[in-house]
Structure 1
Amino acid sequence: MKKTMTKALISGLAIAGTAAILAGCGAAPTTTASSGGSADVAAGFKPCLISDDGGWNDKSFNQSAKAGMDKAADELGVKSLELESTSENDYAPNMQQAVSEGCSLIISVGYKLAAATVEAATANPTLEFAIIDDYADVDQDGKTDAPNIKPLVFDTAQAAYLGGYAAAAWSAKDGVNKVGTFGGIQIPSVAVFMDGFQMGVEKYNTDKGANVQVFGWDTATQSGSFTGGFAANDTAKQTAQGVLDQGVDVILPVGGPIYQSAAAAIADSGKNTVMIGVDSDLAVADSSVADITLVSIMKALDVAVHDTTMSAAKGQFDVTPYVGTLKNDGVKLSSFHDFESKLPSGLTDELSALQEKIVSGEITVTSPNSPKAQ
């Protein structure tokens, strides 16, 4: 989806609680020692995190962000405020609560909170904000809409390229030569996985003279299979089934909890299809699907949240966008876990070589959905 379509969706989430947020304006803390915590933590520092509607137990996006916040709060010796959203109607009230309860740093988990984040940041210029997977550019002028918001974004296409190559190798090994993917909502942070995945498959085909097909996504036309949300529901299961019906033996569900629907569809099919996880190491995050999770395409959400919180606590908050790449370990491929011994011979060495070439710039992984410089 083009950026304009993404931002149109964001603007549809406009906030009704403007007056309340404005009333909650607070001052940034001064940098002095805090009681009971690290000696260089700003006095009164209070980090806060707001989830999107996937909730803290999504085994993926939100849960990883929460782990990063929990780790930072523990190391700093401070108490964080973590507000869970169960629907889009919770974004404005949660943002209002974060401001009114004296949060020094407010991190929003996901593009859906962009409008709420921009409005609160504009109304509270002395507070510090960060947002995951979005530049908070609601007015679509190519710039973050408030000077106190730090974007935390990820060039996931690079890691997904490795995942696509691995998927193609797995499928070719069995003579199936068909892999697939589907997403939640068609936004850049979802489609970037699918772009990289397809490009990795194409790289495998070029290198091996193979003909592994990709179903569920076409990078050239930017069209494919989407559920319209991130909930693990019947729609997501039916979408997964539609891809599985193409005969794929590897499927990449992109969108937090929708992996659960993919797993259910795989179980119903009775076939030996395997799945690729996203964001977190899915085989570890949810042991119930470890036996069908080939590998995961990971984003270091926890590290980005942790490091941003630590910097803000020490008065070193910087709004320069963080962009996770293979080079800085912001994105990466997980272990293959129990599948390690079943992989095609030489695959892990091939993946390591590909990663080195991407990091060095010898291979350029370019996705229309990769984060753009601001």
Structure 2
Amino acid sequence: MTKGLTALAGALLALTLTGCAQPPVTTTSSAVEPDAPAGPSFKACLLTDAGSASAGSPAQQAIDGLDRTQRELAIETDSVTADSSADYPRVLQSLVDAQCSIVVALGSGMANSVEAAAKTNPGVQFALIDAIPNSAPANLRPVLFSVQESSFLAGYAAAARSTSGKVGVFGALNVPAVTIYMDGFVQGVGYFNQAKGAQVQALGWKVDAQDGTFVRSDSAPFSDTAAGRTAAESLTAQGADVIVAVAGDSGQGALQLASEDSGLKVI
């Protein structure tokens, strides 16, 4: 299941307009004339991981949002990729050196590097999508989405469709950007039980312990179909007949399993 960050373009637009100071008390919206002259020189830049921009992925949606920013605000933009986590500091500094006014980074894995870059370069604005740094200097803004609300609905829907009385969820990695979905799923199942007087069991995630079922792949937890199938099989073996996959392309493994088992449903 890929993340639906459809609000990301708007977030990038807002960040471009307001910078990374404290969020404004009020917000307004207005049409942007296509031929409006550009304001003061401004350059918005994006950092993603190499190979992460598959169709519908958060990285691709971020790139699309950056493109929209360029069209609608008539500003300069740039998008670069890092080959590995070890490359983050160098690439971040290269964007600073390229006179980027704001640098947007995507994902919890970049949090420490972005925090360090922001502290080293107080004159540049930074935004960290989908993650919270250990500390945020004035020029660094975390950008988060209430994704647990969508997975809450998925949990409710899963419980409503289950005939075995057991539903399951698995994730790609035990990181906040993934587990917040799993929290919402379990809470949605719990609300269904409360509303309907049911006793559907949620497998694959324990909210209190923050522990559960994950894709077992050392190299590609978000794109290992076989490992995703194995994670789904571990839930069906416990009786789950509806499964939610929070694992990117690894979730395709759960779909493969469902194509062979007419009693299994996958979200």
Q: Render the CA deviation track for 1:181-234: whole Å, top value 9, x for unaligned.
A: 111221222111111111111111121122222111111322201126633213
Equivalent pair of 1:52/1:86 in contact (CA under 8 Å): yes
Structure 2 CA distance for partners of 1:261 and 1:94, relative to 1, 3 Å: farther
Equivalent pair of 2:167/2:240 in contact (CA under 8 Å): yes
Provide the aligned length of Structure 1 versus Structure 2.
231
How far is 1:37 from its partner?
6.8
Q: Render the CA deviation track for 1:310-329: whole Å, top value 9, x for unaligned.
A: xxxxxxxxxxxxxxxxxxxx
How far is 1:272 from its partner?
4.6
Q: Render the CA deviation track for 1:265-321: whole Å, top value 9, x for unaligned.
A: 333x43353332xxxxxxxxxxxxxxxxxxxxxxxxxxxxxxxxxxxxxxxxxxxxx
Equivalent in the alignment of 1:157: 148
1:84 pairs with 2:75: no
Equivalent pair of 2:228/2:247 in contact (CA under 8 Å): no
Which of 235, 246, 249 is the equivalent residue of 1:243?
235
Structure 2 CA distance for partners of 1:90 and 1:265, relative to 1, 3 Å: farther
Equivalent in the alignment of 2:92: 95
Equivalent in the alignment of 1:337: none
Distance 2:228 2:193 in 1: 29
Distance 2:68 2:222 in 1: 27
SS at match of 1:51: strand
Q: Render the CA deviation track for 1:247-275: whole Å, top value 9, x for unaligned.
A: 323211113332233323333x4335333
- 1:1-374 to structure 2, matched below 5 A, reads 38-39=36-37, 41-43=39-41, 45-52=42-49, 55-57=52-54, 59-137=56-134, 143-144=135-136, 146-171=137-162, 175-227=163-215, 230-233=221-224, 234-267=226-259, 269-276=260-267
Q: Render the CA deviation track for 1:151-192: whole Å, top value 9, x for unaligned.
A: 101232233222211111122xxx232211111221222111
Aligned-residue Cα RMSD (Å) equals: 2.4
Give 1:203's aligned amino acid: Y
- Which runs of 5 or more residues in structure 1 are unaligned? 1-27, 29-35, 138-142, 277-374
Give 1:153's aligned amino acid: L
Give 1:251's aligned amino acid: I
Equivalent pair of 2:172/2:247 in contact (CA under 8 Å): yes
Distance 1:193 1:124 in 2: 33
Give 2:266's aligned amino acid: M
Equivalent pair of 2:229/2:251 in contact (CA under 8 Å): no
Give 2:160's aligned amino acid: A
Structure 2 CA distance for partners of 1:49 and 1:192, relative to 1, 3 Å: same
TM-score (norm 2): 0.77
Distance 1:46 1:211 in 2: 54
Equivalent pair of 1:236/1:262 in contact (CA under 8 Å): yes
Give 1:123's aligned amino acid: T
Equivalent pair of 1:178/1:249 in contact (CA under 8 Å): yes
- Which runs of 5 or more residues in structure 2 are unaligned? 1-18, 20-33
Distance 2:247 2:36 in 1: 37
SS at match of 2:144: strand
SS at match of 2:63: helix
